[in-house]
Amino acid sequence: MSIDSSEGIFLFQGSALVVSDETPDTGIANGQSPEIVHQVFKDSDHFEMPAVDAPVTIRGASLGKDTPIPAGWRTVSVRQGLSLLAAGTAVDGKGPIGRMLRAYHIAQWRQDSAFCGSCGTRNTDAPDELARLCPACGRREYPRISPAVITLILNDDGRALLAHNKKFADKVYSLVAGFNEAGESLESTVAREIREEVGLEVKDITYIASQPWPFPNSLMLGFTARYAGGEIHPDGIEIEDARWFTRDDLPNLPGSGSVSRYLINGWLSHQYD
């Protein structure tokens, strides 16, 4: 195998980034030396070294969940990495956060696409693009990207609706979100998800920003919308609680580095008035 040391390899185990002890927190988005990763982990379970001679600038690989982490290496959760790298960064997929999230997405996809979906043959990396190639039938598979909307709902009293999802940490409130369905516009998804999850109708749906979000393979599309009617009724399935909040009376908010916090910060700084 030809190994090009000019590009770092991002190695993951589950939702954690595997880095050498010599890597400072500020350097986790630079990847690890391909030669060292290959040398240390080449015999690990479920590890497949990405093709390094393909024209792909960011490479991600995974270890099996039960693979022991050797001495001299440690793990950093991807979400913790977001907080470490978030200061002064945007949510547009660029910069250190963008590199780490792209690598995490690629690593998960490579693991999930180990075998051809048509004939079952073990896939290889395509030599000319970011794709998995079946050596038997020639089928190519590309990274799966699932569009999802996330919306900051505002009312005429200067308040924002924040909701607590059952999956969130205790007392953390964020925005209503959901996946785009087949045959549905993004604006229709915004209105439907809000209606289904909190029982409200909205208007003036406006796109603000997007963010690659590989938890597991989403592209988050951030919107604002104005309250148009209805009473708050959390669905009880995903949303446990939802309320109108003022800027000076806020619950615990999602961490930095996410498009949800980006939208909330925009409201806090009166960008959407």
Q: What confidence tens digit (pLDDT) does each residue in 161-205 have?
A: 999 999 998 899 999 999 999 999 999 999 999 999 999 999 999
Report the predicted TM-score, pTM, of the whole model to 2 decimal places: 0.85
Would you state the structure tokens that stand for residue 137, as one six-digit string? Answer: 């039938």
Residue written as tokens 């669905």? 235
pLDDT for 30 equals 84
CA nearest neighbour of 106 among 168, 172, 61:
61
E strand segments, the chain = 9-13, 16-20, 59-63, 73-77, 124-125, 132-133, 140-141, 146-154, 160-165, 176-179, 201-213, 218-229, 239-245
Are the C-beta atoms of residues 261 and 220 closer than 8 Å to each other? no
Residue written as tokens 């709902």? 153
Which element (helix H / strand E) includes 129? none
pLDDT for 6 equals 46
Low-confidence ranges of the chain (pLDDT < 70): 1-7, 51-57, 86-93
Residue written as tokens 């999230």? 101
pLDDT for 55 equals 55
Cα–Cα distance for residue pair 134/110, rounded to 1 Å: 13
182 DSSP assignment: T
| Residue 167 Cα distances to 80, 144, 146, 231, angstroms | 17, 23, 19, 23
